[in-house]
Structure 1
């Protein structure tokens, strides 16, 4: 059962049937003494976002290792339906920590069932050598646990009716498509897409020492006072990446982000920020 904090993460969005099916499958498997942990694809039913997780990303599954999780990229609520949202992988202990994985949930599900372990999607984001890719996949498929993983994967494939695809190629295509639409780049690589035909956006230059003293906060406020919506959203993305937005770390910047979200009436994003800071 999904906890209230996770429900708050979804906000005004309807939880996709595919997510509910994944949760049900995990419950069924546990009754049989099995778990989706075996393939690194466990549904999220309790809050698991990190401070580095973009606040317009809704986590829905995790690999079970190093805090790696997958989420829907809502582009600050601009996506009408989560089935149409791009899928992002958040890997808190790696560089880069944010990786765009798929253009849609259905594409992600095909990717997830095309590798020997879903955790590999976090790695193959950077693969570009076909021989190396084939070698890594073959090594995984030949280990002692693959027969057990296959039993779980077969259940997942049956539920989602997925077919195998070239994961590396699809990740590259998803990123190319995303990059072609970005009008303002950001540290997390996701960028800001066009908003109301805005273009030629400016980007705030943060101090390298990650300061949040009065002088830096005044400079931030001066920038934001004349910033377009896209520039403000870019600021939020970069601040989330640049600082640790939690009350016991960079609290002053956290409060500034709250103010921006309130001014833009981004209620779902504000609620996520509050939930993650508990």
Structure 2
């Protein structure tokens, strides 16, 4: 079992019961050839896109544009994943890739079965969402074939989940997600550009959105980002880390990831941040960050007399080069 859930790191020995039930349900429905609108991914390293927050443990996707869902561990401070917020990561929604969609896995499952449109789309209002549902109902046959048959299968799955686990539709699901995000804002000590924020971790820190005031072990200091986020010096970051609170440093890492700073071919900053995370006891998060930004093999370029350009990496064989 531990190898099966290897991406769960320190949570491997305390997996949430609802997740295990969901995995069993997905397997059962697969044998019945009935679709669950979630492809489970718990038997590998999970999803690690550049936009996947380093403290999110992914467990499934909807199979479209890399969209995936995961547990927000708040840098490993969540005691039980059954209580963790659920995050949707949509890599193709540039500038708006990450958002919280449910307070826990049980409520996520309710949205998945009754209001899945809210999981991967943003709507300006409840009325806009209701219109979206009407449009979907009127669109006719889908990729699944007969829409009537598809809806009948979904109703069967909903009835099964209600009977087994007592999970039903949420009241006012649009407003539910709004309220979940409002509550999240009240819990964080510092806000971040990805909307997740950083919860209090250090002793004495509260969730009062400390407006960069001082003083616990270090000071809450906002890192000053230039208009061009790519212009960032490792030595400046080291000086900042030397005086900033743990929460401030984690906020910097969140912002750096969402701003694409770690995409740079120079891995010195990424390696420094990874080492820092390990020093803070956040080895799982360090590993996730490295998986989101894997090292690229060095390439050799050769221009032949004919004008043909050959490019190969360290892993290629002599046969490949020819």
| TM-score, normalised with respect to structure 1 | 0.86
Counterpart residue number, 2:234? 217
Unaligned runs of 5+ in 2: 141-146, 214-219, 295-322
Query: Are 2:115 and 1:109 aligned?
Result: no
Residue 198 of structure 2, aligned match among 192, 198, 201: 192
Give the 5 Å matches for 1:168-247. Answer: 168-195=174-201, 196-198=203-205, 199=210, 200=213, 201-211=220-230, 216-243=233-260, 245=262
Give the 5 Å matches for 1:76-95. Answer: 76-94=75-93, 95=95
Give the 5 Å matches for 1:1-278. Answer: 4=3, 7-13=5-11, 14-36=14-36, 39=37, 41-45=38-42, 46=44, 47-94=46-93, 95-115=95-115, 118-123=116-121, 126-142=122-138, 143=140, 144=147, 145-165=150-170, 166-195=172-201, 196-198=203-205, 199=210, 200=213, 201-211=220-230, 216-243=233-260, 245=262, 249=265, 251-277=267-293
Deviation at 1:277, TM superposition (A): 4.6
Deviation at 1:203, TM superposition (A): 1.8
User: Which protein, 1 or 2, shows the higher relative CO under an 8 Å CA cutoff with sep ≥ 6?
Assistant: 1
Deviation at 1:65, TM superposition (A): 0.5
Deviation at 1:147, TM superposition (A): 2.8
Q: What is the root-mean-square deviation in Å for CA atoms of aligned residues?
A: 2.4
- The 1-side partners of 2:290 and 2:168 are apart by 39
Per the alignment, in what secondary structure is the counterpart of residue 57 of structure 2?
strand
Per the alignment, in what secondary structure is the counterpart of residue 55 of structure 1?
coil
